[in-house]
Amino acid sequence: MRIEFATVPHPDEIARAEAYRRQAALLKPARSLGKLEDLGAWIAACQGQSPPRPLRRMRIVVFAADHGIAAKGVSANDPELTRELLAAVESGGAAVNVLAAAAGAGVRVVDVGVDRAEASEFTVRRGSGSIDVEDALTDEETEAAVRAGMRIADAEVDEGADLLVPAELGVGSTTPASAVVAALTGVEPVAVIGRGSGIDDNGWMRKAAAVRDALRRARPMVGDPLALLRTAGGADLAAMAGFLAQAAIRRTPAVLDGLPAAAAALVAEELAPGARAWWLAAHRADEPAQVMALEHLDLEPVVDLGIRLGGGAGAATVLPALASSVRLLADLPTKDPEPGLDVT
């Protein structure tokens, strides 16, 4: 099983430096806009120009899949809830839809592995194996899911997307995500286990046992990212990994949501080294595995709002700040125009 990824380009550091130089000339006290200045400079580097263009087509792509491990009581919710949540997002009635609309972003839903009668163009499997005792996917399903994510990233970029957000939807998704993070960071299972959907102590112990057993099977696969996704991941994690890697190859910035996106990002960095330079961590989720994954990627979350909903909700709250950082850099007048500094 092998997928060839193109070389990941570097963001434009000259454009980033020019953005910071422009920030210093804007009509405001030096560094008074804090992290907004860093966000604007990051977008400038991704676009390769300063000031950057306004963000006009931000897209949240929700990858939906069921996880076999959910039947083992690792979530506070029944596995059947995945279908209800998927229907809510598809009808525009979920939290991510409301938050995306407020941010001026579009939402796309992709069913890559939900256990329901109707399949989508990108469905690779209905549900996944229970990772404590069996592989989540087959080799063929893993490759199909990664390629699906790549195709969707290409399609979104070709349609004009200038910022992408991969998100997950599926009961039990933080369990395989925790196993993947533990495998790639080398920590013990108990160190990565959070409360996820709000599990009680008994649920936490079931989740810890599931990750422990999955990790025993996954650790020998650490040197092979696709094998790791097959063993301990799932269709959503595999698709998000392909999506994130291909977005970076296409020079398109991406914003990471919660733990599943961070786990997929760890794998994507293995598949396409250097891709992390094109990513921004939106928020700090209430999951220790997400914190470890972001530290491993050297990414610092923009905000900490205590959000644990998943599905792109946390990332959606950061999109207005990103859009504002670009407009401030582009539209705020300068104190004294400098020779050669474009203030238009």
Report d(CA 85, CA 81) in Å as an integer.
6
Q: Which of 233, 258, 311, 314 is catalytic?
A: 311
Report d(CA 178, CA 187) in Å as an integer.
10
Active site residue 311: yes
Q: Which residue reads 């953005």 in tokens? A: 19
Residue 61's DSSP bridge partners are: 108, 166
Name the residues annotated as catalytic.
311
